Structure 1
Amino acid sequence: MTGLDTLGRRARAGLTQTIGVLFGAGAAIGLTHIGAAPQISTSSVATVLIGLGGAVFGTLAVIFSLLFLVVQWVATTFTPRLTLFRDAPIVWRTAAVAMSVIVFCITAILASGSRDTISASVPLVAVVGTLAVLVLLRVVLANALAATQISPVLTTICEHGQQSIVATYPTSDDLDPQQPVDSTAEPHSIPWSRNPLVLQRLHVERLVHLAESADAVIVMEQTVGSTLRAGATLAHVYGPAAQRNGNGDSDSDTGEIDTGAFFAALDTGPERTFDGDSLLAFRLIADIALRAMSPAINDPATAAQAVDQIEFLLVSATSIDESARRWRDAGGHLRLVVPRPSWTDMLVVGFDDVIAASLESPLMLARLDAALTRVSTVAATVEQRTQLARRRTWVAQARADRFPTLDQ
């Protein structure tokens, strides 16, 4: 369920910077106490370290300036929900290396004390670290440039969306998705009573263990990526579990779920991530298309590019299993049921608003009709073909009403 593991990556970014600082300080203390030749004048080395440390400190200013500029650019040009550059590992790894070099230079100066000479390895390491920062900074600049261009942005979102779909709807799923929840008692509901937040990720192993320890079945009512509002039901807990084992027996003890442990197994936050949120890519690409079709911008060619990516994602998702995913414990008892967005949900998010915003554009109506026709040729179910036919009729009617001469 974790998909691209954005939340874990953010935690690792902070840990990497902490390790970088500690490594820089430790390396400086260790190298300054090396007494073997060659040795260099401490005053000369201090001058070099001050210069290198100051230069590397400037790279931190560049990195954070880029963050502010690119995030603002993306929010106003594409969509405020797009955070790919902000969350890019290379940005925070570069910051970690820069902080390590700065701390190394400062610590080496302080650790040298009143000695007349210092190991030549100290300035050598500082120079190598500075060069590494410059190389990483070049990569960051290239990423920043790509983050402001429409084609790389759409391609990257599409790639992330495809990975999220693969993670959410695995093709080889041995989790027995069709077995119903067998309950002999009324379920206990777990409501959400806090401020609105997004359900970003589920810690499946924790939830399975929690249900197993209570001999219960947790049935989630919210999909990953949903906004949790006060009063909304997060999950139903069924107990006794009443799961048949290999001998046909069933359990009969009513389970009680520790709500504190339950909430601890959920990651929530103010914004959506690609971790198991298969609809986010559709939302982002549709946002870009809507921004392009707004009267202030009026750029149907960009919107048509966005439709290309939506079409690809829909085609790649036509064969998904829309049923809820189900996890069992080691004994084979059903413990966790998690709903997943349907293919129709993807179609609605990806196309409906874009169609509504494109009714006055012959270019977009033609592109939308072509995309819907293409997806219809690979649709796997009657429901998919029915939903596509409704939207094709919508687009065809708009073309006939507004641009009757185009089809003559």
Structure 2
Amino acid sequence: MSAFDTLGRRARAGLTQTIGVLLGAGAAIGLTRIGVGPQISTSSVATVLIGLGGAVFGTLAVIFSLLFLVVQWVATTFTPRLTLFRDAPIVWRTAAVAMSVIVFCITAILASGSRDTISACVPLVAVVGTLVVLVLLRVVLANALAATQISPVLTTICEHGQQSIVATYPTSDNLDPKPRIDPADEPRSIQWSRNPLVLQRLHVERLIHLAESADAVIVMEQAVGSTLRASATLAHVHGPAAQSNGENASGKIDNGAFFAALDTGPERTFDGDPLLAFRLIADIALRAMSPAINDPATAVQAVDQIEFLLVSAMSIDESARRWRDSGGRLRLVVPRPSWTDMLVVGLDDVIAASLGSPMMLARLDAALTHVSTVATSVEQRTQLARRRAWVAQARADRFPSLDQ
């Protein structure tokens, strides 16, 4: 994993735009100093650069207008927790290219000074940059349109959810099968003492390094995606670090360094949070089934995706994930949501909201029946049977003719 990947989304967006601005300024200064090759009147080039810069600035305005409109549409139509378009890399990359072209045009005008002529490369690069911005803008517009349509939104959420499941529950996991923690240890607790935030991501390498330096084992008590509330226990530290007292005690894990290895924020992300996809799709189904919307067909589409994700996660290893250091010693234990957690988040609220819809009850019964046929454990079949009985009872009570 590169250093760029370890940055947060907002940090990556800001860094990309900063790099774009610096590249635009540097390219303008370098190209205006070229004294060989075709030369063009500086006044003519300045007029072209001003026009292109203004056009690209208008592109930036369109991008931010789309952000406001699409985010508002998605929040009111689907769910306020859906941030796919806002966080899409193409949006802030297009903004970065547009800013680079604007800075290039301004810097080129200023760098040309009192020269009578300037290299033809300057307007050529400005034109090419503007064309690139227009191509990217077309992609942004296509993404904005897709972000307002139910089918592309559900498909994208499902794809992100499947990727998160694969990343959280790898099929070829050669890590420690069982933790080797001395039960006689008196672990030290690390508690959350800040404002409520969501645990978005763990920097595993940093946590392993902290545990290795202290010759300890860090057992996380909060899974990625959990809301960290005041006095919540984040982790237990087993080993010498748990027995160390004092600020400068050898082997003590510093709370500040531990918190620095966690990414937190106000919103959940798909990184390491397989339950988020279930939550978002369930939210869309719940809103579709609300009396104000009353759109069971959309809820049926949402159940299609939930069913697919449940089947995809059927064979996951629900035990906590464990990492070793380079010497093979256990250093980090991280809990993971169970398959039952996915079932509860994905379907329970939807079933409760669909008891008055024959279309949804029929679709839910079909989904639960299909998932039951591929269930791999007794616990999974038991949980599915309970919900099938719930749906069947609702159909028998409210719509007895459906079973005739």
TM range (shorter): over 0.9
2:282 matched to 1:286?
yes
Identify the range of structure 1 (352-361 vs 231-240) with the bigger mean alpha-carbon deviation: 231-240
Amino acid at match of 1:392: R
2:386 matched to 1:390?
yes
Deviations 1:227-272 (A, max 9, x none): 0010111111111489xxxxxxxxxx99522111111111110000
Distance 2:26 2:385 in 1: 66
Q: Cα offset for 1:177?
A: 2.9
Q: 1:198 to 1:363 in 2, by over 3 A?
A: same
What is aligned with 1:304?
A: 300
* Contact 1:183 1:239 survives alignment (8 Å): no
* Contact 1:369 1:392 survives alignment (8 Å): yes
- Segments of 5+ residues of structure 2 without an aligned counterpart are 243-248
- Among 250, 259, 264, which residue is 2:260 paired with? 264
* Contact 1:53 1:106 survives alignment (8 Å): yes
* Contact 1:34 1:119 survives alignment (8 Å): yes
2:158 matched to 1:162?
no
* Contact 1:91 1:140 survives alignment (8 Å): yes
Q: 1:101 to 1:114 in 2, by over 3 A?
A: same
TM-score normalized with structure 2 length: 0.95
Q: 1:329 to 1:338 in 2, by over 3 A?
A: same
Q: Cα offset for 1:356?
A: 0.3
What is aligned with 1:359?
A: 355
What is aligned with 2:102?
A: 102
Distance 1:236 1:228 in 2: 15
Distance 2:177 2:320 in 1: 6
What secondary structure sits across from 1:236 in the alignment?
strand
* Contact 1:183 1:241 survives alignment (8 Å): no
Deviations 1:120-167 (A, max 9, x none): 111111111111110110000000000000000000000000000000
What is aligned with 1:116?
A: 116
Amino acid at match of 1:259: N
What secondary structure sits across from 1:166 in the alignment?
helix
Distance 1:361 1:398 in 2: 10
Distance 2:6 2:384 in 1: 33
What is aligned with 2:246?
A: none
- Segments of 5+ residues of structure 1 without an aligned counterpart are 243-252
Distance 2:9 2:195 in 1: 25
What is aligned with 2:222?
A: 222
Deviations 1:186-235 (A, max 9, x none): 11111111111000001111111111111111110010000001011111
* Contact 2:241 2:252 survives alignment (8 Å): no
Q: Cα offset for 1:399?
A: 0.4
Q: Cα offset for 1:372?
A: 0.4
Q: 1:254 to 1:362 in 2, by over 3 A?
A: farther
What is aligned with 2:245?
A: none
* Contact 1:164 1:276 survives alignment (8 Å): yes
* Contact 1:40 1:117 survives alignment (8 Å): yes
What secondary structure sits across from 1:40 in the alignment?
strand
What secondary structure sits across from 2:207 in the alignment?
helix
Q: Cα offset for 1:6?
A: 9.2
Amino acid at match of 2:82: L
Distance 1:234 1:79 in 2: 29
Distance 2:250 2:99 in 1: 54
What secondary structure sits across from 2:225 in the alignment?
coil
TM-score normalized with structure 1 length: 0.94
* Contact 2:29 2:107 survives alignment (8 Å): yes
2:336 matched to 1:335?
no
2:380 matched to 1:378?
no
Amino acid at match of 2:115: R
What is aligned with 1:51?
A: 51
Q: Cα offset for 1:336?
A: 0.7
1:23-38 alignment to 2 at 5 Å? 23-38=23-38
Distance 2:241 2:263 in 1: 25
Distance 1:171 1:77 in 2: 36
* Contact 2:180 2:330 survives alignment (8 Å): no
What is aligned with 1:248?
A: none
Q: Cα offset for 1:280?
A: 0.3
1:196-207 alignment to 2 at 5 Å? 196-207=196-207
State how many pairs are aligned: 396
* Contact 1:165 1:278 survives alignment (8 Å): yes
What secondary structure sits across from 1:46 in the alignment?
helix
What secondary structure sits across from 1:95 in the alignment?
helix
Q: 1:192 to 1:345 in 2, by over 3 A?
A: same
* Contact 1:6 1:273 survives alignment (8 Å): no
Amino acid at match of 1:99: M
- Among 306, 309, 312, which residue is 1:313 paired with? 309
Amino acid at match of 1:378: V
What is aligned with 1:247?
A: none
Deviations 1:30-77 (A, max 9, x none): 111111131111111111111010000000000000000001111100
Distance 1:52 1:211 in 2: 55
Identify the range of structure 1 (28-37 vs 312-321) with the bigger mean alpha-carbon deviation: 28-37
2:229 matched to 1:233?
no
What is aligned with 1:126?
A: 126
CA root-mean-square deviation: 1.7
Q: 1:319 to 1:369 in 2, by over 3 A?
A: same
Q: Cα offset for 1:388?
A: 0.3
What is aligned with 1:193?
A: 193
* Contact 2:241 2:253 survives alignment (8 Å): no
2:141 matched to 1:141?
yes
* Contact 2:8 2:263 survives alignment (8 Å): no
Amino acid at match of 1:201: R
What secondary structure sits across from 1:201 in the alignment?
strand
